[in-house]
């Protein structure tokens, strides 16, 4: 290892020179293949922290799919049903626990994960490498790679796929700094790792919090810890199903994440599973076509291009059919990186199967938010810890 890596450029091609370095120790990362960029490494280091903490909190292999310094998805290695394997496009491949975690993370929001950076909590095995090799992805960070897995990844993108190995024992200094406009900021690094032990303050009339909901609350909270604020996250069945990142308004976060969660549920509808795709349509084109199918409103030009994906024009789902399909799901967790200032986010969340809510609390309207949860029979836990990330 060394203390500095020269990069191709910074956030944009005109920002040269660019590098990453440490002042007093070797870098904790090794570049095993390819040439990572500035944003690649921001995604890699944020993603690594997320999956490391998920593994630490839940003792399961974990994965994250990062784009532009926020996770598009994150997940643990909870086994998948046949339907989930189908919507995540992995029904035809071998799945190890780590590969299962990445398939779930990548499948949370496949449109946003196009060209992602993958972060993996464990040594990369061959099934996970095969899965990475067939997706449109910029790179991967992990604590190690089996020799055969590394060989697979080194062939991706004509040998230019970016592969980074990180020292799993590395701990950064307690004080972190950053420069903005020539001014240096310093702060205590956020070392709080949410665990199920943090979920004891339940403030709603309904206090029943099963272990699966506790797990999903932890997944939501740790995901939010590494998502650009303001942020809201929907989690279900051991994975993220929708992230609303970087919005100025909490309700806009909730709506954005909720629309992604709705899409994840609707992808499981029998009519979506049986869309009459033409032979040879690749996965990214299928993702785009499914998104447009669920959107419903296309211009004439968009419609003409979209129909080229199918053997015959598909029958669209009506608004009522979508609503009825989503209404059958429940047990979803809603997490927020800061308090809900109004009840509007709870009202919106109720439309996407939310049963469990976790947030810091501390709003002057906490009582109004609690009352809204009680109206829907939701369980809400307050952590007392804000998780802003900028």
List, by residue number, the catalytic residues: 67-68, 230, 390
Q: How far is CA 341 from CA 5, 177, 227, 269, 336, in A?
A: 43, 30, 19, 34, 11
Instruction: Return the structure tokens found at 300.
Output: 């004439």
CB–CB of 39/179 below 8 Å? no
Does residue 236 sit in helix, strand or coil?
Answer: strand
Give the helix/strand (H/E) hosting 84. helix 82-87
Among 219, 268, 232, 243, residue whose Cα is nearest residue 72: 243
Q: How far apart are CA 242 and CA 293, in angstroms?
A: 19
In angstroms, rounded to a whole number, what is the distance separating the alpha carbons of residues 119 and 61?
11
* Owner of token pair 């009459």: 276
CA 186 to chain CA mean position, Å: 28
Angle between helix 250-266 and 283-295 (nearest 10): 110
Distances in Å between the Cα of 328 and the Cα atoms of 42, 249, 354 are: 39, 29, 11
Residue 122 structure tokens: 């464990």
Burial of 86 (0-12, 13-18, 19+ CB in 10 A): middle
Between the CA of residue 174 and those of 47, 183, 185, 190, what are the distances in Å? 19, 20, 14, 9
- Residue 334 in contact with residue 356, Cβ under 8 Å? yes
């Amino acid at each position: 290892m060394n203390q500095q890596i020269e990069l191709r450029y910074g956030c944009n091609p005109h920002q040269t020179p660019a590098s990453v370095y440490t002042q007093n120790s070797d870098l904790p990362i090794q570049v095993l293949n390819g040439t990572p960029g500035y944003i690649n490494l921001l995604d890699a280091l944020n993603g690594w922290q997320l999956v490391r903490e998920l593994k630490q909190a839940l003792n399961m292999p974990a994965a994250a799919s990062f784009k532009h310094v926020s996770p598009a998805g994150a997940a643990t290695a909870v086994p998948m049903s046949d339907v989930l394997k189908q919507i995540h496009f992995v029904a035809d491949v071998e799945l190890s626990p780590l590969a299962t975690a990445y398939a779930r993370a990548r499948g949370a929001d496949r449109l946003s994960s196009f060209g992602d950076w993958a972060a993996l909590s464990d040594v990369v095995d061959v099934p996970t490498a095969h899965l990475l090799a067939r997706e449109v992805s910029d790179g991967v960070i992990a604590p190690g790679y089996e020799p055969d897995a590394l060989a697979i990844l080194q062939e991706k993108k004509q040998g230019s796929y970016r592969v980074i190995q990180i020292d799993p024992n590395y701990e950064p200094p307690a004080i972190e700094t950053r420069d903005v406009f020539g001014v240096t900021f310093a702060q205590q690094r956020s070392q709080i790792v949410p665990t199920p032990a943090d979920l004891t303050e339940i403030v709603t009339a309904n206090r029943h919090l099963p272990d699966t909901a506790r797990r999903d609350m932890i997944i939501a909270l740790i995901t939010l810890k590494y998502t650009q604020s303001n942020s809201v996250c929907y989690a279900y069945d051991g994975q993220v199903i929708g992230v609303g990142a970087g919005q100025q308004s909490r309700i806009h976060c909730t709506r954005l994440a909720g629309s992604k969660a709705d899409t994840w549920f609707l992808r499981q509808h029998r009519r979506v599973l049986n869309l009459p795709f033409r032979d040879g349509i690749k996965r990214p084109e299928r993702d785009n076509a499914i998104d447009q199918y669920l959107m419903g409103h296309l211009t004439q030009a968009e419609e003409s291009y979209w129909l080229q994906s199918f053997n015959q024009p598909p029958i669209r789902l009506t608004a009522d059919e979508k609503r009825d399909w989503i209404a059958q799901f429940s047990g979803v967790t809603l997490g927020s990186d800061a308090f809900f200032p109004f009840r509007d986010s709870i009202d919106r969340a109720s439309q996407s199967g939310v049963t469990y809510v976790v947030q810091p609390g501390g709003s002057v309207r906490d009582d109004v938010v609690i009352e809204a949860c009680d109206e829907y029979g939701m369980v809400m836990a307050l952590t007392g810890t804000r998780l802003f990330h900028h």
